[in-house]
Amino acid sequence: MRSAVVVGTGLIGTSLALALSAKGVTVHLRDADPIAAHTAASLGAGSVEPPDAVVDLAVMAVPPALVGTVLADAQAEGVARHYTDVASVKRGPQDDAVAQGCDTVRYIGGHPMAGGERSGPTAARADLFEGRAWVLTPTPDTATETLNTALELVVMCGATPVVMGAAEHDRAVGLVSHAPHLVAALFALRLARAEERAVSLAGPGVRDLTRIAGGDPALWTDILSANAGVVADILDEVAVDLDDAVAGLRALAATDDAKHAEGRRRMDLLLHEGRAGRKRVEGKHGTRPARYRTVGVLVGDQPGQLARLFADADRSGINIEDIHLEHSAAQLTGVVRLSVEQRGAATLEETLRGQGWRVQ
């Protein structure tokens, strides 16, 4: 990929543009708000000048409801060879693209699982996607070349590609992103209506629980509107669990020994299941999920090269979390991509360069 157009210069669009620009890609920026586009350009994300030729990829970094229209306009203009988006829901934009007669052969949906409480170009950073999942949702007729271009985008941004169907994606993000945001907002609502004396006692636990409730309400209304049915179904299930929790607490408060024992049993079960769910999203060492970075190393097609690479990587003392080999029998070299925790990447790169390896 040598050139790209990014339509929309909010947090995600500008971060994506910064990551591509850092990789030497010529990025052209567009936004309905020219101030946002110029701000992103001033940060080094690209140029607001239009491209003088067809670019390799156009990225629609706009709200879900606008993806179909913006995609149709970009394709009518012939701005790019391939097209993708970064909307947080996929089924609606994909259906809109079909309804508006877009060329779905050269389009693939996308959603980087990254973000932040702050929005706008000034909150952007080039490493926003490093170590994060980036879902790609091909249409039934997406071309292989379009998929490969999207995969190249993901790799350039340091993310990990995950290919899913659009409906499957929307159910998944409803569970791990959209419903949790609304639950956090509902609890934060309790704080907004509480006495100042009570709120002054809030510690790290409450801050962690309500952190995501600080997101842009207008943006999240758009997101929830696009996935409302899925989120409502999940909250129906949460409501059943809440009713069970309330019943358990009422029993715990009872003076009757039998009711009290039943309340303890119900609360113990609930808390144990909650802890089990938490462990599924923790890091493998029982800590918060680590942020990862991929270190690419050029390896010659000679016997023993991989063994030497792994021995030299071991000298760094950095644990290799994952390995991916890119190689073709027709090429004399390949690329080994080593995934490590972000904080150890610089040490690994320095060690490998010191041993004579060409590090990307």
CATH number of the domain bearing residue 178: 1.10.3660.10
Structural domain contains residue 286: no
CA dist 23 and 130 (Å) reads 14
Q: Give 41-55 pLDDT, tens digit per residue.
A: 999 999 999 999 999
pLDDT one digit per residue (tens) for the chain, 360 residues = 999 999 999 999 999 999 999 999 999 999 999 999 999 999 999 999 999 999 999 999 999 999 999 999 999 999 999 999 999 999 999 999 999 999 999 999 999 998 876 788 999 999 999 989 999 999 989 999 999 999 999 999 999 999 989 999 999 999 988 999 999 999 999 999 999 999 998 887 888 888 888 888 888 898 898 899 999 999 999 999 999 999 999 999 998 999 999 999 999 999 999 988 888 876 544 444 556 788 888 888 777 777 788 888 888 888 777 777 765 454 567 788 888 888 888 999 999 999 999 998
Domain identity same for 10 and 139: yes
Question: Is the same domain home to 8 and 126?
Answer: yes
Tell me what pLDDT residue 335 has.
83
Examine the domain organization and report whether 179 and 122 are in the same domain.
no
Residues 143 and 179 both lie in one domain: no
Q: Same domain, yes or no, for 256 and 108?
A: no
pLDDT at 283 (0 to 100): 57
Give the alpha-carbon dihedral of 89, 90, 93, 98, to 10 degrees. Answer: -170
Domain range for 96: 3-164
pTM, full prediction: 0.69
Cβ neighbours around 126 below 10 Å, total = 21
**Per-residue confidence (pLDDT) for residue 13, from 0 to 100:** 96
Asked whether residue 56 is assigned to any structural domain, the reply reads yes
Residue matched to tokens 């001033």: 42
Residues 22 and 141 in one domain: yes
Structural domains in the chain (count): 3
Cα dist from 207 to 204, 239, 283, 287, 289, whole Å: 5, 23, 21, 18, 18
Q: Which of 222, 256, 281 is the last residue of a domain?
A: 281
Give the full edge-to-edge strand order of the sheet including 333-341: 322-326, 333-341, 292-300, 358-359
Looking at the fold, whether 200 and 153 belong to one and the same domain comes out as no
Question: By C-alpha distance, which of 214, 219, 293 is closest to 12?
Answer: 219
pLDDT at residue 282 in the model: 65
Choose the final residue of a domain: 112, 146, 164. Answer: 164
Within-domain flag for 287: no
Which of 281, 315, 333 lies at the terminal end of a domain, its last residue?
281
Both 227 and 315 in one domain: the answer is: no
